[in-house]
Structure 1
Amino acid sequence: MVRLVLVLGDQLSPELSALAEADRDRDVVVMAEVRGEAGTPKHHPKKIALIFAAMRKFAARLQDEGWTVDYARLEDPANAQNISGELLRRAEARGAKEVLATTPGDWRLIEMLDDHPLRVTRLPDTRFIATEAEFRTWAKDRKSLRMEWFYREMRRKTGILMDGDTPAGGQWNFDKENRKPPRDDLFRPEPPVFAPDPITEAVLDLVEANFSDHFGDLRPFGFPTTHEDAERAARDFIDNRLEQFGTYQDAMLTGADFLYHSVLSPALNIGLLDPLALCKMAEEAYRAGRVPINSAEGFIRQILGWREYVRGIWALDGPGYMERNVLRHDRALPWLYWGGETRMACMADVVRATRENAYAHHIQRLMITGNFALIAGLDPAQVQDWYLRVYADAFEWVEAPNVVGMSLFADGGMLASKPYASSGSYIDRMSDYCGTCPYDVKRRTGDDACPFNSLYWAFLHRHADRFSSNPRMSPIMATWRRMSASDREDILYSAQTFLEKLDRGEPV
């Protein structure tokens, strides 16, 4: 009997486990553009366009390879506009009772499949380098789940950047060499732009007609939407930007939205690139002497280490992870995250880049928008919702641990050993934002003082009981205690005054 083979919009891989298990001559692939996924939450128009265009092209590829594909376009009158309904509709039409599905990276969809009226065989997502079982075994009985130790296991497993049993270059991690601040004269090679073909243009028109009320600019659009274009983008990064990537991966410059970053995560996270192949490309460039080891290792660590690790955390802890809020932060997400007026040059530039590109690099997300959300006490659920909406590479499995654990410390230290909170001094050191900002990064108090300064110390004050016993935070807490009572009072007053303006919706 015919079976349905579900392929979701972030599962566009020829090696997908559901396809590998299926019979090409008998089974039917089901793909669907549905409002239930595109509009809940209201995703960035560029993200929707990327997924729909890539889906249409992948469906055509499967058909060329001999698969039967039942594909529902958004405008199809019979489209149920949700994945469950599309499976039922196609099952009735095909006389199918069974579905093959690769496990989604979203607990809501997992639960939908597990409770579906049809018989669903849910297969592991084998596109990750570490299986969920491997991560559970690694995590079992550990007092702390630090990424560095998991990363080393992945290096040993794959042999990437290994010389026998020894890490290439004599050490596992070259992060100390990857923290240089930017220079104004940095050469800024742009990532390649892929001009929309007729298929993508049709999708852009569709998205413009149906999702124009979503935050973000749809055009210009230049993401790769095929495996071939994504591989060209990867090769361009290896050849033109990887050499300096490591050194300047934490740097930020106004208006320089990409610097030396790969911008490959959107293509990687929807299945247009293979993570292990990317790591091998970077290693090959290092072995050939084209890039230094700090850059190759830094890039590989983002994929083989961090990407695999956060997916493991998401799978290990279940859907309850997204609800964690150990710091009990509950402030509403302010309008400035949606482009509202702000005097803060760093926040304004990152939100602008996010609106225009559906992308911001990892330090902008962690140390600007994430740092502000942490020290201002924003509600983790609302912050998660924002990140999931606005970034083309954001899917629950990767977004939730990065926001809940890394940015907001809302999991209480399960993922990070310390909160990634900072005053304006870090931003000043690693960017040029402060040079043009109306706020004075050197001042802690007063109307013209950098808000990050007072918010940072007020955040530490609020959670002094928790952080004083943290070995990595105790020296900072001691600094706070050594300040005079009047200085502490002035700082807390400045922070409170700023937050009250924020709560009233006034420009800050």
Structure 2
Amino acid sequence: MSAIEPTAAQAIGPAAAATSAPAGPTLCLILGDQLNPLHSWFARPDPQRVHVLLELRQETDYVVHHAQKVIAIFAAMRDFARQLKAAGHRVRHVAIDDASNRQSLTANLDALISHYGASAVEWQQPDEWRLDAQLNDWAARQPIACQAVDSEHFYTARGEAAELFADRKQWLLEHFYRTLRRRHGVLLDADGQPEGGQWNFDADNRKSWPGNPPEPADRRPRHDHSALWRQIEAAGIVTLGQPQAADFRWPLNRAEALQQLDDFIEQALPHFGDYQDALSSKSWRLFHSLLSFALNVKMLNPQEVVQRVEQAWREGRAPLAATEGFIRQILGWREYVRGVYWARMPGYTESNALGHQRPLPHWFWNGDTGMACLAAAIRASLQQAYAHHIQRLMVIGNFALLAGLDPQPLHRWYLGIYIDAFEWVEAPNTLGMSQFADGGQLATKPYVSSAAYLDRMGDHCKGCRYDKKPKTGERACPFNALYWDFFERQAERLRGNHRLAMVYKNLDKMTPEARAALSEQAAATLARIETL
């Protein structure tokens, strides 16, 4: 289904079949991640429709969020309300400190129905299961018409991935990605074949960054949200990370997001492919687009992003490998993990197939660890509300999996700390791709490494407290022994995985004494995990 083709409205509740003319207005709920001014709701003002935006403790408190995430969503909601009013729409925006705010989504809807004498309520389909369930349960009890409409954002419908894989034992991104490429005519030649003669250029996109070409200038807008931050603090909202409210760099609206997209295509896309997997102590963003927040709150549409990136390649402004790699993240992975989420919920967020139960060490909240790559990734997350995918997967997630950290608090940490994290995209990435907690429903193998990979892709090892080479000893990098100990501990579950045959072949070559030494080193490392 095209993102610009809304599904038929889904009627919910006992009054859904009512056909008489409404006596009162329709309330149209806009969630904080549905800030799309191009939605068909806003084609023209209608005095019988009141657009409702709610700032809620329900949404700030279900996990502890990064301060910048709360600021960004509230500020963007306020700007969106302003834009709608300026365009002639009826708008009811309830601020976090509004005296009438019930701080609950459905309690506020009940109050607003009474206030306006509303005859109907509509909402765009939420992307998170908890909100979808809350609204559906509430609607089923209402005496007025309630219906959900499409958000008009994604390439695919919620259940489309499940339908595509219905007859397949294994869900594979590559099959899904190629299907969508063909369906939407993305990066295809005149004969319908992939440009460049292959579907995937991932092998060309794995270079470390030598410092040249230089990182592009950060041309994102600057905002002073100090007053909003004071409101958030006064409301008693608990957050993590640095607010940076006086010099805030995340986009406020679609116009700013489009400018950010233009800047990425002009400055960073030409080098994105080469260095998309690189790690650097000198840069927290390298050539990444930082567009995920704007996409996930729907300021930008994925189709327009893909089209503009493809156009840049066709005009000779970006190499094919970089273009394909970026498009695969949007058209392929983003849509794929959403399909996984809706197919596996409810229950997916409780996954723990490997039985890991170790608490998160305290330095997940301050970055105070001597492991240089981990310290850099966590501190960047706390400072910027962002880390790129290799920092999330192969640094933080890698350590968490090797150390056997409990995937549920880890999931909540990822969900809270990143500005682009909403459960539909974060849970499959954390529990499936990063932690293998779903037992392989998403990833075909655990994504873990020793220090060798981290050293190959970055420069943190040079200034680290630990030595990247030895597997044992006081200064041995913790990743090394933990890597082999992980596969030793999980041999019953993982030895039969064909993608891990070489790992177990190498493990089997080790002497019993060497394997025992690695297990002893790993145990000592985990015993002092709080002071690593």
Tell me the TM-score normalized by structure 1. 0.96
In 2, distance between residues paired with 1:210 and 1:94?
26
Query: What SS is found at the alignment partner of 1:48?
Result: helix
Query: What SS is found at the alignment partner of 1:222?
Result: coil
- Give the CA deviation at 1:15: 3.6
Which amino acid in 1 is paired with 2:381?
T
In 1, distance between residues paired with 2:312 and 2:285?
21
Could you tell me which residue of structure 2 aligns to residue 136 of structure 1?
162
1:123 to 141, 149, 158: 149
Contact 1:181 1:250 in 2 (8 A): yes
Contact 1:283 1:296 in 2 (8 A): yes
1:35 to 48, 57, 68: 57
2:231 to 206, 226, 247: 206
What is the correspondence of 1:37-436 to structure 2 with a 5 Å cutoff?
37-116=59-138, 117-118=141-142, 119-164=145-190, 165-196=192-223, 200-210=225-235, 213-219=238-244, 220-339=247-366, 341-436=368-463
Contact 1:47 1:391 in 2 (8 A): yes
Gaps of 5+ in 1: none
- Give the CA deviation at 1:113: 0.5
In 1, distance between residues paired with 2:504 and 2:321?
33
Contact 2:367 2:376 in 1 (8 A): no
Of 211-220 and 279-288, more deviation after overlay is shown by: 211-220
Which amino acid in 2 is paired with 1:180?
K
- Give the CA deviation at 1:340: 5.0
Which amino acid in 2 is paired with 1:128?
F
Contact 2:29 2:52 in 1 (8 A): yes
Which amino acid in 1 is paired with 2:321?
N
Contact 2:69 2:419 in 1 (8 A): yes
In 1, distance between residues paired with 2:121 and 2:408?
32
Which amino acid in 2 is paired with 1:85?
A
Query: What SS is found at the alignment partner of 1:4?
Result: strand
In the TM superposition, what whole-angstrom CA distance separates every residue of 1:126-176 from its partner, at most 9, and x where no partner exists?
Answer: 310111243222121211111111001111111111113101111110000
- Give the CA deviation at 1:24: 2.5
- Give the CA deviation at 1:193: 2.7
Query: What SS is found at the alignment partner of 1:163?
Result: coil
- Give the CA deviation at 1:40: 2.3
In 1, distance between residues paired with 2:212 and 2:179?
39
Contact 1:255 1:349 in 2 (8 A): no
Query: What SS is found at the alignment partner of 1:259?
Result: coil
Of 135-144 and 479-488, more deviation after overlay is shown by: 135-144
What is the correspondence of 1:18-33 to structure 2 with a 5 Å cutoff?
19=41, 24-33=46-55
Query: What SS is found at the alignment partner of 1:121?
Result: strand
- Give the CA deviation at 1:311: 0.6
Gaps of 5+ in 2: 1-21
In 2, distance between residues paired with 1:473 and 1:335?
32
Could you tell me which residue of structure 2 aligns to residue 497 of structure 1?
524
Query: What SS is found at the alignment partner of 1:166?
Result: coil
Contact 1:12 1:271 in 2 (8 A): yes
Query: What SS is found at the alignment partner of 2:69?
Result: helix
Which amino acid in 2 is paired with 1:206?
Q
In 2, distance between residues paired with 1:126 and 1:25?
23
Query: What SS is found at the alignment partner of 1:70?
Result: strand
How many positions carry a matched residue from both structures? Answer: 502
Contact 1:191 1:237 in 2 (8 A): no
1:6 to 29, 43, 47: 29
In 2, distance between residues paired with 1:211 and 1:340?
25
In the TM superposition, what whole-angstrom CA distance separates every residue of 1:293-334 from its partner, at most 9, and x where no partner exists?
Answer: 001111100000000100111111112111111111111111
Which amino acid in 2 is paired with 1:145?
W
In 1, distance between residues paired with 2:284 and 2:469?
26
Could you tell me which residue of structure 1 aligns to residue 8 of structure 2?
none
CA, structure 1 residues 103+212, in 2 after alignment: closer, same or farther (shift >3 Å)? closer
Of 317-326 and 432-441, more deviation after overlay is shown by: 317-326
- Give the CA deviation at 1:16: 3.7
Query: What SS is found at the alignment partner of 1:241?
Result: helix
- Give the CA deviation at 1:390: 0.3
In the TM superposition, what whole-angstrom CA distance separates every residue of 1:204-227 from its partner, at most 9, and x where no partner exists?
Answer: 332344467521111131111111
In the TM superposition, what whole-angstrom CA distance separates every residue of 1:53-80 from its partner, at most 9, and x where no partner exists?
Answer: 1101111111122221111001111101
- Give the CA deviation at 1:343: 0.8
